[in-house]
Copies of this chain bind each other. A is one copy, B any other.
Amino acid sequence: MAGFLTLDTATLSSLHRKLLLEYEGFKKKNLKLDMSRGKPCPEQLDLTNGLLSSLDGNYLAEDGTDCRNYGGVEGLPEARRLFAACLGVQPEEIMVNGNSSLALMHDLIARAMLFGVDDQERPWGERPVKFLCPSPGYDRHFALCELFKIEMIPIPMQQDGPAMEEVEELVAHDESIKGIWCVPMYSNPTGVTYSDEVVTRLATMKTKASDFRIFWDNAYALHHLTDQPDRLLNILQACKEANNPDRVYIFSSTSKISYAGAGVAMLASSVKNIRRLAKLMSFQTIGPNKLNQLCHVRFFKDVANIQAHMKKHAALLRPKFDLVLEILQTELGNKNIATWTKPNGGYFISLNTLEGCAKKVVRLAAEAGVIFTKAGATFPYGYDPRDQNIRIAPTYPPLHELKLAMELFTICLQLASIEKILNDRTTQSVTLSTIKAKIV
């Protein structure tokens, strides 16, 4: 079929009627599906069964620490070693913490607000703070900015990461810009992995604020979907080489490796930053749940095992991504009403509709019982200026539900697109007659 924009109004109207019938048919199915969040599916979680029983009555860490007792704010040495190897940093450059990397980010910003990011710097909270927000991006990052009243400046996401000219220009001249949010690998939602050049420029760029920080949420570091995975430059190394050793905070977790919400989270940075954070955290807690850390170390053992484990995840997820991409291609291919990403890893497919259609598509799908991430959520303040980005999260539903959901989705998208095209034509024609009337 030719692009919708080239079809005449009668053809489009007739197609709209046909699609509406199909849509009503879907409504009658009384679906109740939720595709809004990047959650692992039960089969993925089953891959880690055995984790809790991996200790076999031996609760002692390698240094003799009883993991059932207090202490060790930076995390178990063997856990630090294991996850340092995963992230390509040194064990002393990482702390292994509780169950949530989001909490590490939240707490880091709260601390920056109250105490600054360095003993030589002022607390951020004393003056207005701004963050750069490559968009579309992760809604929970943007929510943290809203919570802490940090002004968000959207930065276009490109094929190789954020638009660096814009980033460099802004940070060079505005001292109130203290941070940038990055999901550098298999980005949420676009699936983009930052190019070496982008990573290097982020590490190297001149910033007006001496306490500027990169919030590097490497949530999908090991979450490949193919055998030709993307590769991400080591930003901690790049920052060291650029003589900005304290610039980056790297976050990661096993939420999508072991258990979502019952895994372990980690923060990597310069030894100086880690030591200062550990000192501040020692007021907050006597230590993280070391028993859960020990379970992870005993269950996963080493990086090679984790990589093998991630291949099992990929084997479960690949068919879901393939199905979504196949349905999108079959139903929308060549209609010129949407573009979408084909990621090599991560948890999302990002789709752009014609301008002004995303909200309507998500609303139509919701009214037929399928919840997608709220349109606009991938932009600061929930405001997608072109109303066109939709995040598709294929991981949780079983294939037969995913098929239904995506078929419905493509119908909703076609409906909204036709309505948009027809509406545009009417407006143009009205405008045209208005102009003609004025001329007469």
Interface residues of A (CB under 8 A from B): 37, 39-40, 42, 45, 48-49, 52-53, 55, 57, 59, 66-72, 98-100, 102-103, 106-107, 110-111, 113-114, 125, 140, 143-144, 147-148, 255, 259-262, 280, 283-292, 295
Contacts and interface: CB of A to CB of B under 8 A. Distances in A.
13 contacts: A45-B66, A48-B68, A52-B295, A68-B259, A69-B261, A70-B255, A70-B261, A100-B287, A103-B285, A113-B114, A140-B283, A260-B286, A262-B290
Given A98-B98, A289-B99, A259 B69 contact: yes
A284 B106 contact: yes
Given A37-B70, A52-B52, A261 B289 contact: yes
Contacts of A259: 68-69, 291
A287 B68 CA distance: 22
A59 B50 CA distance: 12
Q: Please indicate which of the listed interface residues A55, A70, A106 has the most CB atoms of chain B within 10 Å of its own CB.
A: A70
Q: What 9 A-B pairs come out closest when comparing CB atoms? A: A262-B291, A106-B284, A45-B68, A68-B259, A100-B285, A99-B289, A70-B260, A103-B285, A147-B283
Contact of A260 (B49, B68, B280): B68
Contact of A57 (B49, B66, B67): B49
Contacts of A289: 98-99, 261-262, 289, 292
Given A49-B57, A110-B114, A114-B110, A261 B283 contact: no
A55 B40 CA distance: 20
A373 to B, nearest CB: 14
A259 B72 CA distance: 14
A284 B147 CA distance: 10
Contacts of A287: 100, 261
